């Protein structure tokens, strides 16, 4: 290069650059490879494998003859096993409870119960989901799962998390598609690496147990103008929302996701509003549910069928097992109650009374 400046790299720098290039290449390849593996193992195929294992466990536990009898039973006898039924959690992860449910289910409307919520430890705060009012975040946990986490330190308070568990697991027990829930143990130390001030403060205030929901990657928000829902499914969702007083399933904010072509119900934090004022909770027992804005009210919801199927299932036993999933630390020191167990009983009493009443059901009230 006559007249120009020549830059020469001194010899030790060259191998260093080579090593760096190789490292970056390996990292890139790893990311690419893991993405390809994820893409090649869609949850549906994992679900399928899981369902094969489940079926084997069920056959072993029930005996072939009873299984054949169950399969021969008319479909309408099996509660919630029609469209919209989710027998295994999404992402192919199969909870022990689901396996137990499959092994003990008999002919007849027996709801699917979760016996304990899975507990995981948060290992990484990945991203803030800014579209959520409570600033939920995407969190990676020690089981390598990804969870949408609602934080105990959020302004909405711990009762939102209680409502997520009670309503979410009640919905699941009725056969409605709710992504798997988990308790996420969060060490506030993770907050130190968070550059966003608002998120950092939220994380600092959220040490201990938080609520995680299985992340459904690539899911779409349900749009009632674009997607369809059949009257049976619409009726069951509406009945469930009416029972729990869910004000957060409107066409403006459906809180329903479509994932692999199936609908999933999320965000039950705004249900059970009676628990914000226990001393006046009795007034809510017969409170009518306003379905005018409900996202599924335009799909001719079959409420009569839903009521016939669901009302007999929501008994004290089911309610007790569902509120039993709420950790003590979200219930302690509740004004007016001596112990978490008393708060649980108050939920059971209130919801039992509401099921017995049912003047709140749209089309019944008034």
Ligand X SMILES: Nc1ncnc2c1ncn2[C@@H]1O[C@H](COP(=O)(O)OP(=O)(O)OP(=O)(O)O)[C@@H](O)[C@H]1O
Which residues contribute to the site for ligand X (CB under 6 A)? 129, 131-134, 136, 148, 179, 213-216, 219, 221, 248, 253, 255, 257, 266-267, 269
Report the partner that residue 219 touches, choosing among Mg ion, ligand X, none (CB closer than 5 to 8 A by kind): ligand X
Please tell me the distance from the alpha carbon of residue 313 to that of residue 109, in angstroms, as a whole number: 8
* In the complex, minimum distance from the CB of residue 269 to Mg ion, in angstroms, rounded to a whole number: 8
In which order are the strands placed within the sheet that holds 220-221? 220-221, 256-259, 262-265
Q: Which residue is at the shortest CB distance from ligand X?
A: 132
> Do residues 75 and 82 lie in contact, with contact meaning Cβ atoms separated by under 8 Å?
yes
* In the complex, minimum distance from the CB of residue 257 to Mg ion, in angstroms, rounded to a whole number: 10
Nearer to ligand X, 167 or 319 (CB): 167
Please tell me the distance from the alpha carbon of residue 93 to that of residue 83, in angstroms, as a whole number: 20
Please tell me the distance from the alpha carbon of residue 230 to that of residue 262, in angstroms, as a whole number: 12
Nearer to Mg ion, 81 or 248 (CB): 248
* In the complex, minimum distance from the CB of residue 201 to ligand X, in angstroms, rounded to a whole number: 16
Contacts of Mg ion in 234-273 (CB under 5 A): 255, 267
> Do residues 175 and 161 lie in contact, with contact meaning Cβ atoms separated by under 8 Å?
no
Please tell me the distance from the alpha carbon of residue 328 to that of residue 344, in angstroms, as a whole number: 10
Q: Which residue has the tokens 């059901």?
A: 361
Number of residues that bind Mg ion (CB under 5 A): 2
Report the partner that residue 269 touches, choosing among ligand X, Mg ion, none (CB closer than 5 to 8 A by kind): ligand X
Give the bridge partners for 140, in sequence order: 124, 146
SS3 for 174? coil
Nearer to ligand X, 87 or 246 (CB): 246
* In the complex, minimum distance from the CB of residue 152 to Mg ion, in angstroms, rounded to a whole number: 18
* Among the listed residues 84, 109, 80, 111, the one whose alpha carbon sits nearest the alpha carbon of residue 98: 111
Report the partner that residue 136 touches, choosing among Mg ion, ligand X, none (CB closer than 5 to 8 A by kind): ligand X
For residue 331, give Cα distances in angstroms to 66, 70, 161, 345: 42, 40, 10, 12
Please tell me the distance from the alpha carbon of residue 68 to that of residue 25, in angstroms, as a whole number: 55
Nearer to ligand X, 255 or 297 (CB): 255
Report the partner that residue 122 touches, choosing among Mg ion, ligand X, none (CB closer than 5 to 8 A by kind): none
* In the complex, minimum distance from the CB of residue 118 to ligand X, in angstroms, rounded to a whole number: 14
Contacts of Mg ion in 267-326 (CB under 5 A): 267
Nearer to ligand X, 180 or 307 (CB): 180
Nearer to ligand X, 241 or 302 (CB): 241
The residue ranges that bind Mg ion (CB under 5 A) are 255, 267
């Amino acid at each position: 290069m006559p007249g120009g400046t020549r830059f020469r790299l001194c010899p030790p720098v060259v191998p260093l650059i080579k090593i760096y290039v190789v490292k970056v290449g390996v990292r890139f390849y790893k990311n690419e490879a893991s993405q390809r593996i994820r893409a090649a193992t869609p949850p549906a195929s994992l679900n399928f494998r899981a369902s094969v294992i489940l079926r084997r466990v069920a056959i072993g536990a029930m005996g072939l003859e009873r299984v054949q009898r169950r399969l021969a039973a008319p479909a309408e006898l099996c509660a919630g096993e029609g469209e919209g039924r989710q027998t295994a959690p999404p992402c192919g992860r199969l909870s022990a409870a689901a396996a137990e449910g499959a092994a003990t289910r008999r002919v007849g409307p027996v709801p699917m119960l979760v016996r304990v919520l899975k507990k995981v430890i948060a290992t990484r705060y990945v991203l803030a989901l800014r579209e959520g009012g409570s600033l939920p975040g995407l969190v990676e946990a020690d089981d390598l799962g990804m969870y949408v986490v609602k934080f105990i330190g959020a302004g909405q308070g711990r009762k939102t998390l209680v409502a997520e568990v009670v309503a979410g697991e009640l919905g699941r027990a009725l056969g409605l598609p709710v992504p798997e829930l988990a308790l996420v143990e969060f060490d506030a130390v993770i907050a130190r690496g968070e550059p966003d001030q608002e998120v950092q403060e939220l994380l600092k205030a959220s040490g201990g147990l938080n609520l995680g929901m299985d992340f459904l990657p690539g899911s779409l928000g349900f749009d009632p103008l674009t997607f369809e829902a059949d009257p049976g499914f619409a009726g069951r969702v509406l009945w469930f929302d009416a029972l729990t007083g869910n004000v957060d399933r409107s066409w403006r904010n459906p809180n329903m996701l479509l994932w692999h072509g199936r609908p999933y119900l999320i965000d039950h934090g705004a249900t059970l509003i009676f628990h914000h004022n226990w001393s006046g909770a009795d007034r809510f027992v017969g409170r009518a549910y306003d379905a005018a804005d409900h996202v599924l009210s335009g799909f001719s919801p079959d409420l009569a069928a839903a009521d016939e199927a669901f009302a007999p299932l929501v008994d004290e036993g089911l309610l007790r097992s569902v509120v039993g999933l709420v950790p003590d630390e979200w219930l302690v020191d509740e004004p007016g109650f001596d112990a978490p167990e008393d708060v649980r009983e108050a939920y059971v009493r209130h919801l039992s009374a509401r099921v017995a009443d049912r003047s709140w059901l749209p089309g019944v009230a008034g």
